[in-house]
Structure 1
Amino acid sequence: MTTSTYDLPAAVANVPLAQERFAATLATLTDAEIREPSVLPGWTRGHVVAHVARGGEAMVRLIDGVLTQRPVAAYPGGPTVREAEIELGAQSSANDLADEVYSANIQVVHAFARMTAPTWGRQVQFPTGAYPASRCAWSRWREVEIHHIDLGMDVYTIESWPEEFVACHLPHELAKLPGRLPSNAAVQVGPSRFGTGDVVATLDGPDAAILAWLVGRVGLAAPALTISGDLPELPPWS
């Protein structure tokens, strides 16, 4: 089991690489393929791509707020407006969606390049709460890599995730696992036990598959996992 910890330079360096891989996959999609179901229930691939584009724009807004030292919402108008924008974007053509992602990707890279050690430490307001601005880099890296597999394309699967991505993010997701388990449950993941319950299930397999399970991509993870006992269903991941 890898135990590498998250670090900001790794995230900043890997965001453009992840974005480039995602954009390369989008360049192969036709209008018919963009309308096909994604891994996410109720969402087409177009929804996933629109979400990634809007997510990039949100990160740029937060960084701009940090640099101008003014409060900024990641998604002005709140969840309702955010969902409406994704729904609208999902109806766009494959080429238009690819262009939106390409534009957002460039803006993200330029925004991150303007940051310094002190500004990365300033607080920003995510929909889930206040965090250091460094979360923008970690979040963008995570979002692009995870939503890339959500497209459900053979060209990019959990096995395609870079080792550095898995090594950086797996420890953080494992640390959150006890709080997501039912009170009577515990899960043995490799050599480590999580949770204090008496009902123990064991889970083993490649780190990428374990990470996929932790972030709610159970169907993508299952073929590579060895499971013993009744593995508890985790609440929705965020």
Structure 2
Amino acid sequence: MIDHAHDLASVQEATDRLLTAVAELDNASVARPSRLPGWTVGHVLAHLARNADALTNVLDGRPMYVSGEARDADIARDAPRPLDAQLADLRESDARFRVRGAAPADWARTVELRNGVTDSAARVPFRRWGEVELHHVDLGIGYELEDVPADFTEREIDFLADRFLAHPDVPATRITDGTRAWRTGRQAPRPEVTVTGRPADLLGWLAGRRAGTALEVLGGPLPALPPL
């Protein structure tokens, strides 16, 4: 059962952690490379701010972005800003998202995201939570997947495993941390591959943040996953 109110509160907590950490940086840090290829720390911060506005658009029934080109141009425009401008933008865009999320709404309605993807409105706060947590890690400023709240990690593994479910290019795969188990990939009577590891390592592999070298794989090589 999706609890959008819980997830909105979690977005606020995650954003507060992010803002506190980023406030310790300086202007030179904004220009250094992040963990995302081709993006500086400033690109990641700009993306987080624009994503908050984009998901506000989704909840308002508007297109998430005007276009993919406009999205990329906005991030490139905002990336070089000094730290105080980045922080102010993050605070303001987060506040707009949370005000919209607190307004009365039909949370069971279907909304449209990018590239024709649809979801329930109630899952939008969780999607924002994921953006904040994973991109906090991407900044490379000391926040790691091991630091992410355990309840988010479990739910994001479930979300990503479901995303790749029935994907023709992913073998039928059982994923387990030794206690919980998920299925992903092609549908088959039995999994072709079993992937076992710590939750943080499983999340890192599924989310494209780790190569999976810390995982144990039985039945074949570690499946190559499509980009998110």
Pair in the same fold by TM > 0.5: yes
Residue 90 of structure 1, CA deviation: 0.6
Gaps of 5+ in 1: 66-70
Residue-by-residue CA offset, 1:101-129 (whole Å, 9 max, x unaligned): 0111111221111134xx22233321133
Q: State the partner residue of 1:68.
A: none
2:150 partner amino acid: E
Q: TM-score, normalised by structure 2?
A: 0.86
1:218 counterpart = 2:206 = no
- Higher share of residues assigned helix: 1
Distance 1:127 1:164 in 2: 26
Residues 176 and 62 of structure 1, relative CA distance in 2, 3 Å threshold: closer
RCO comparison, higher one (Cα < 8 Å, 6+): 1
Matches within 5 A, 1:140-155: 140-154=128-142
1:108 counterpart = 2:97 = yes
1:158 counterpart = 2:148 = no
Assess if the C-alpha contact under 8 Å between 1:187 and 1:231 holds in 2. no
Distance 1:226 1:33 in 2: 36
Residue 58 of structure 1, CA deviation: 1.3
Residue-by-residue CA offset, 1:137-184 (whole Å, 9 max, x unaligned): 121111111111111122x1000100121122221222233334626x
Distance 1:192 1:199 in 2: 11
Structure 2 SS opposite 1:43: coil
Matches within 5 A, 1:55-70: 55-63=51-59, 65=60
Aligned-residue sequence identity (percent) comes to: 30
2:172 partner amino acid: A
Q: TM-score, normalised by structure 1?
A: 0.82
Q: 2:44 aligns with which of 48, 52, 74?
A: 48
1:162 partner amino acid: P
Residue 6 of structure 1, CA deviation: 4.5
| 185-194 vs 124-133, which moves further | 185-194
Matches within 5 A, 1:73-92: 73-76=63-66, 78-92=67-81
Q: State the partner residue of 1:186.
A: 172
Residues 231 and 111 of structure 1, relative CA distance in 2, 3 Å threshold: same
Gaps of 5+ in 2: none
Residue 199 of structure 1, CA deviation: 9.2
